[in-house]
Chains A and B, each alone.
Chain A
Amino acid sequence: MKKIKIFFSALLFSMISTFALADFDWKKYAGEKIVFAYDIHPYVDALVEKLPEFEALTGIKVDAQIFPDDVYWNKLNLEITTDSGAWDVAGTGVQPTWDTSVGNHNVDLSKFLNDPSMTNPDYDYNDIYPSLRSAMTWDVKGEEVVGNGKGVWGLPHSFENMNLMYRNDILGKHNIKPPKTLPELTATCKKLKQVEPGITPMALRGVNFWSSVHTAPASIAKSYGVVDYVMKDGKIADTGLDSKASIKFHKDYVAMVKECAAKSWPNDNWYQVVDALTSGNAAMAVDANMFGFWNNIKDPDGKNPSGKISFAPPPTAPGAKNFESNIWIWCITMPSASKKQGPAWYFMQWATSKKMVLDGAMMGKMVNPIRKSTWDSADWKKYANQPEFNNYYDTFMEVQDRAELFFTPRYGFGEAMNAWSVAMQEMVNGRPVEETLKELAGSIRAGI
């Protein structure tokens, strides 16, 4: 009897799903054309490859405009904030969207998500990892961004969490274990310098832009108890960057940079990190985990060091109970000036649908996938657990539980965090840590 009940329940569920799917009118905007803008990136390569499927499904034509990284961010800011209306969907990150949402330059997508006539019942927004959904959710009050709200300002498309990645061929050769704390990391670098003098112990971003602090520094600092802002009654009351915890963290971090990083550290960006890991010029990095994943992919040309990069959680403060991992989310947003919001929303839900996320991941491009169902799928498990990816899958599952956005939602995020990256350069250059942090905190307080 129980089996019959289960059978009929499953049948009923399947029928409802089928009717729901059949009910959703994918052809509602057939014949429309939208413009989709993104940075040159494997994430968008996956989408572009699958565009014919979307166009066949909906009858909507997509003009994908893909720009080089250096050009894209300035263009994005100008296109969105001037309400040009030239783009209907734009790829971006959470932090830039804080800045553009305050002037109502972005569409709050909750109106579409909550409208059954606009969102495919199979979409399953809650299948996206909670930390990603919560990072994209805030309210705009006046000219301020207030976190933990109801507005949804973008859909996560793929994301990076911060891992310690290491060349297992180099560390294995000298029987060196991946370090677990920041001081251990510094000591490991010292040892590596002795046994492998021809390489840089660690590839590390150091440019004077906030992208340098959102990888290793933000992840490790959090385990020291550092916060960017101190909240009181739901409002930003102060900065935490000159706290005792922050001073301790920065002293350890500066010592690590001096011991571990390349001499070109102040000019090194993510390109140099990837290059150093790929070439074996560096033995470790604390950065976006998909750099290691992509380098591990089997490459017929032999350019990638396939299988040589292993993963571990980011190092912590000495004695910390847990490691912490910051995340960077690539998301797609809709500019308010778009005159084709309906078709644009159709494209957005397709681009972040279960099928597309799984397909993109299986292409080895949309990594890390944003949906829990993808990580649970047998296909993705089989793919991501191939020998060349080493412990990528298991480390992701371990890290993801503690991976979340370090930064507090705020308009003007860039100004304060860019100042942090410049302060980091000053401290590594020899300026006293306490004095530098005091000045940094003073400049941030002036802007609160």
Chain B
Amino acid sequence: MIKQSEENSLKNFLILPSVLVLLCFLFVFFYGVYLSFTDLKLGKPTVNFAGLKNYIYLWKNPLFWKSTKLTVYFTLVAVIVQAFIGILLAKLFSTKVFFAKIFRPIILLPLVLPPMSVALMWTTMMNPERGVLNYFLSLIGIEPFMWISEYSTAMLSVIFIDVWTYTPFFTLIIYAGLLGVNQEMKEAAQEAGAGAWITFWKIELPFMMPYVLIAAVFRVIESFNQFDIFIGTTGGGPAKATTVYSIYAYIQSFQNLNFGRGTAILFVNWWLVLIGALITIKLYQMARKRVS
């Protein structure tokens, strides 16, 4: 009995560092939450508890609601498109086509580039007058496109950049999942007369879905927090067309020096991330249950 108690004490002692590290993380988070209830402005000598003032300001501010829509829209469209293209590319890479062998390592290139470099590179390429993209379009007789420089096309252009950057992440994970699909089951289906499409739809895709969704969990979290690509391309413009939460919070905190308001936006964003991630995890669990 004594031995058992000593063993428990030792265990508790050994996990103490982990608990301390966790507490440090939690402290930073809750300190941020606390700041969102203050009127902290950089430079001002006094900081007062402001209750729900920052949240009420956001509630009444049309830009906050616009920003909410833009953040959700960006995340949904970017992740769904990445997942779709990721599935196609993973399927291509699982074949023995010559190009698949060549492109398998190359496709990872965007993932290893710093996001800010990606943003600057695309900003140059998307210049409506001197960018290489419009030059290519002109070769096939298409009129210059405004890309990130016009209100109506800016968000789609940023999604395009995000898709280019992060689709390889989906591809990599889904491809790993595809390698694990039971070959005997596929062969049995084909012997039973199932065509390639039916085999993909009924066997491969259900097996792939848990992998697609686990990649989606990561991408949903990152997309809600996406900052580098926005700040490096549009900075939230033109005319608020791409002012997602991360940019809105940055402008409030660092340009307008209103840290209380900036942290309130980030706390709302945290809830969005949490809800988005929980929904995706639920879908993942359903997909796994179906496969097993």
Residues of A in contact with B (beta carbons under 8 Å apart): 73-74, 77-78, 80-81, 99-105, 143, 200, 207-209, 262-267, 281, 411-412, 414-415, 418, 422, 425-426, 428-429, 431
Residues of B within 8 A of A415 (CB): 255-258
- Asked if B3 is at the interface of the complex by the 8 Å CB criterion, the answer is no
Q: Quick one: given A414-B255, A429-B239, are A267 and B42 in contact (CB under 8 Å)?
A: no
Q: Quick one: given A102-B45, A418-B256, are A208 and B235 in contact (CB under 8 Å)?
A: yes
> Residues of B within 8 Å of A, CB-based: how many?
31
B239 touches A103 (CB 8 A): no
| Beta-carbon nearest neighbor of A427 in chain B | B239
Give B232-274 as 1s and 0s: 1 = Cβ < 8 Å from A's Cβ atoms: 0111111110000000000100111110000000000000000
Shortest CB-to-CB span from A285 to chain B, Å, is: 16
B233 touches A267 (CB 8 A): yes
Residues of A within 8 A of B123 (CB): 267
- Asked if B32 is at the interface of the complex by the 8 Å CB criterion, the answer is no
How far, in whole Å, are A422 and B45 apart by their CA atoms in the complex? 29
Residues of B within 8 A of A262 (CB): 128-129
Shortest CB-to-CB span from B224 to chain A, Å, is: 22
- Asked if B280 is at the interface of the complex by the 8 Å CB criterion, the answer is no
Residues of B within 8 A of A80 (CB): 43
- Choose one: B129, B255, B257; the contact of A209 (CB below 8 Å): B255
| Beta-carbon nearest neighbor of A447 in chain B | B256
B44 touches A263 (CB 8 A): no
B42 touches A425 (CB 8 A): no
A105 touches B43 (CB 8 A): yes
Chain A CB count within 10 A is highest, among B41, B127, B237, for B237
- Choose one: B43, B130, B237, B240; the contact of A281 (CB below 8 Å): B130
How far, in whole Å, are A428 and B237 apart by their CA atoms in the complex? 12
Shortest CB-to-CB span from A242 to chain B, Å, is: 18
| Beta-carbon nearest neighbor of B152 in chain A | A429
Residues of B within 8 A of A265 (CB): 149
Shortest CB-to-CB span from A154 to chain B, Å, is: 15
| Beta-carbon nearest neighbor of A207 in chain B | B235
Residues of A within 8 A of B44 (CB): 102-103, 143, 411
A418 touches B239 (CB 8 A): no
Within 8 A of A (CB), among B1-51: 41-46
B239 touches A266 (CB 8 A): yes
Within 8 A of A (CB), among B199-248: 233-240
Residues of B within 8 A of A418 (CB): 251, 255-256
| Beta-carbon nearest neighbor of A98 in chain B | B43
Residues of B within 8 A of A100 (CB): 43
How far, in whole Å, are A281 and B45 apart by their CA atoms in the complex? 47
| Beta-carbon nearest neighbor of A266 in chain B | B238
B149 touches A414 (CB 8 A): no
| Beta-carbon nearest neighbor of A99 in chain B | B43
How far, in whole Å, are A73 and B234 apart by their CA atoms in the complex? 19
Residues of B in contact with A (beta carbons under 8 Å apart): 41-46, 123, 127-130, 144, 146, 148-151, 233-240, 251, 254-258
A103 touches B43 (CB 8 A): yes
Shortest CB-to-CB span from A346 to chain B, Å, is: 27
Shortest CB-to-CB span from A434 to chain B, Å, is: 16
| Beta-carbon nearest neighbor of B57 in chain A | A446
Top 7 A-B pairs, shortest CB-CB distance: A266-B238, A263-B128, A415-B256, A103-B45, A425-B239, A426-B239, A208-B237
A425 touches B43 (CB 8 A): no
How far, in whole Å, are A411 and B45 apart by their CA atoms in the complex? 12
Chain B CB count within 10 A is highest, among A78, A208, A209, for A208
13 intermolecular pairs with C-beta atoms under 8 Å apart:
A77-B42, A99-B43, A104-B45, A143-B46, A264-B149, A265-B149, A266-B150, A266-B238, A267-B123, A411-B43, A414-B256, A415-B258, A429-B150
Residues of A within 8 A of B255 (CB): 209, 414-415, 418
Residues of A within 8 A of B43 (CB): 77, 80-81, 99-103, 105, 411
How far, in whole Å, are A101 and B44 apart by their CA atoms in the complex? 9
A267 touches B256 (CB 8 A): no
How far, in whole Å, are A414 and B45 apart by their CA atoms in the complex? 18
Shortest CB-to-CB span from B18 to chain A, Å, is: 30
B258 touches A267 (CB 8 A): no
Residues of B within 8 A of A105 (CB): 43
Residues of A within 8 A of B236 (CB): 208
A267 touches B149 (CB 8 A): yes
How far, in whole Å, are A78 and B42 apart by their CA atoms in the complex? 8
| Beta-carbon nearest neighbor of B62 in chain A | A439
A267 touches B235 (CB 8 A): yes
How far, in whole Å, are A262 and B128 apart by their CA atoms in the complex? 8
Residues of A within 8 A of B233 (CB): 267
Shortest CB-to-CB span from A163 to chain B, Å, is: 25
| Beta-carbon nearest neighbor of B234 in chain A | A267
How far, in whole Å, are A281 and B41 apart by their CA atoms in the complex? 42
Shortest CB-to-CB span from A390 to chain B, Å, is: 27
Residues of A within 8 A of B46 (CB): 143
| Beta-carbon nearest neighbor of A430 in chain B | B151
B238 touches A425 (CB 8 A): yes
Residues of A within 8 A of B148 (CB): 267
Residues of B within 8 A of A102 (CB): 43-45
Shortest CB-to-CB span from B149 to chain A, Å, is: 5
Q: Quick one: given A412-B256, A415-B256, A429-B238, are A264 and B42 in contact (CB under 8 Å)?
A: no
How far, in whole Å, are A80 and B257 apart by their CA atoms in the complex? 13
A425 touches B129 (CB 8 A): no
How far, in whole Å, are A174 and B46 apart by their CA atoms in the complex? 60
